[in-house]
């Protein structure tokens, strides 16, 4: 709401008590349509019988917390009936604006169908979140970890990460991200990567990576990410990211303190066997991988 709206503004609006000037101003507010939909949905709710004194006491208790801020004054000035109406309004408002989140565990993949028919395949230890209620006008997803996207044509589709964003109209692409890395591979169409104040456009068969401000590009021939079919592959990437990928895939902890984890690695490891994965990655580098127990592995340069 705008700052000039006083504390009882919403309650007066719900009870048709706004004057023409106030109502015109509210209709021009960018959130007016959303509040209208919320109010309509709140009218559809079936309100059970209740003890007015208990309800009012509970509402006062909930709004007395410091985190409620100005809303506290609003409730204390309202009648019991209006307070109940506002409580319903804000409950529905939270439902309209609640985000949807999908998360994968160690060694797990998950397919997600988005509201517009676009598809997301999450790799292990990854997370996406988005707002279903505003999806038709705002196709934006927050990503942590790695995911492959098949995007239906339409308005801009944005994948937001801590290290930058990827924008497309309709295409297939893969995004890997963590605290200091973002890597994007385009499998169809065209994508725009905005990271570290740099904008890169990728077409089919091209990839981009930025690690701590250092970026690089390369080309590839695969039709889809290899991890979809049980194998994680890498192109000239610091070994520490390969170690992290093995940890996420097999739910293990790897002590890499005795090796140079900044050395570059190009290759792949299977998702079917931890022993084979360790041999494939570390034997060519002359690194001994010792399985201490079911969840711990140590690496030592031979």
CA dist., res. 117 & res. 278, Å (int): 38
Buried b (16+ CB within 10 A) or exposed e, 283-296: eebebebeeeeeee
In angstroms, the CA 214 to CA 236 distance is: 13
Query: Which helix (H) or strand (E) element contains residue 85?
Result: helix 80-97
**Domain ranges across the chain:** 9-97, 100-219, 230-301
d(Cα 26, Cα 6) in Å, to the nearest integer? 12
Instruction: Please report the pLDDT score of residue 227 as a whole number.
Output: 97
User: Tokens 């985000």 map to which residue?
Assistant: 99
- More reliable by pLDDT, 32 or 130: 130
pLDDT score recorded for residue 62: 52
230-301 sits in which CATH class?
Answer: alpha beta
Per-residue pLDDT tens over the stretch 231-270: 999 999 999 999 999 999 999 999 999 999 999 999 999 9
The token duo for 68 is 């409620």
**How large is the average pLDDT for residues 62-82?**
45
Number of continuous H segments (helices) and E segments (strands) in the chain: 8, 18
Report the pLDDT averaged over residues 144-152.
97
Which two structure tokens, joined as six digits, stand for 141? Answer: 């997803």
| Band of residue 44 on the pLDDT scale cut at 50, 70, 90 | very low
Paired with 214 in beta bridges are 211
Q: Do domains 100-219 and 230-301 have the same CATH topology?
A: no
Question: What is the average pLDDT across 19-28?
Answer: 75
Establish how many alpha carbons lie within 13 A of residue 170's alpha carbon, considering only the half-sphere containing its beta carbon: 6
> What is the overall mean pLDDT for the chain?
82
100-219 to CATH, choices 2.60.120.1440, 3.30.2320.30, 2.60.40.180, 3.10.310.30: 2.60.120.1440
Three-class SS of residue 134? helix
Most confidently modeled of 50-54, 56-60, 172-176, 211-215? 172-176
257: CB partners within 8 A, 6+ apart: none
The average pLDDT across 194-202 equals 91
Tokens of 90: 């804000």
Instruction: Work out the average pLDDT over 112-129.
Output: 96
């Amino acid at each position: 709401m705008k700052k000039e709206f006083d504390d009882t503004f919403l309650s007066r609006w719900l009870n048709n008590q706004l004057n023409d000037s106030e109502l015109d101003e509210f209709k021009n507010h960018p959130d007016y349509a959303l509040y209208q939909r919320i109010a309509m949905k709140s009218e559809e709710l079936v309100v059970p019988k209740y003890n007015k004194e208990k309800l009012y006491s509970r509402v006062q208790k909930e709004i007395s917390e410091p985190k409620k801020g100005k809303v506290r004054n609003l409730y204390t000035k309202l009648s019991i009936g209006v307070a109940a109406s506002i409580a319903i309004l804000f409950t529905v408002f939270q439902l309209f604006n609640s985000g949807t989140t999908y998360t994968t565990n160690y060694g797990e993949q998950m397919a997600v169908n988005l509201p517009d028919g676009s598809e997301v395949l999450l790799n292990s230890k990854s997370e996406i979140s988005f707002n279903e209620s505003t999806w038709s006008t705002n196709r934006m997803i927050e990503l942590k970890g790695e995911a492959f996207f098949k995007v239906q044509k339409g308005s801009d589709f944005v994948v937001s990460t801590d290290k930058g964003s990827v924008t497309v109209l309709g295409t297939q692409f893969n995004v890997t991200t963590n605290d200091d890395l973002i890597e994007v591979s385009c499998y169809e169409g065209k994508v725009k990567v905005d990271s570290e104040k740099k904008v890169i456009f990728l077409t089919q068969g091209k990839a981009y990576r930025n690690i701590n401000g250092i970026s690089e590009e390369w080309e590839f021939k695969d039709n889809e990410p290899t991890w979809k079919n049980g194998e994680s592959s890498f192109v000239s990437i610091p070994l520490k990211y390969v170690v992290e990928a093995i940890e996420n895939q097999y739910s293990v902890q790897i002590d890499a303190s005795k090796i140079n984890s900044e050395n570059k690695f190009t290759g792949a490891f299977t998702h079917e066997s931890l022993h084979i994965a360790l041999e494939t990655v570390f034997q060519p580098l002359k690194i001994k991988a010792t399985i201490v127990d079911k969840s711990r592995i140590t690496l030592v340069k031979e």
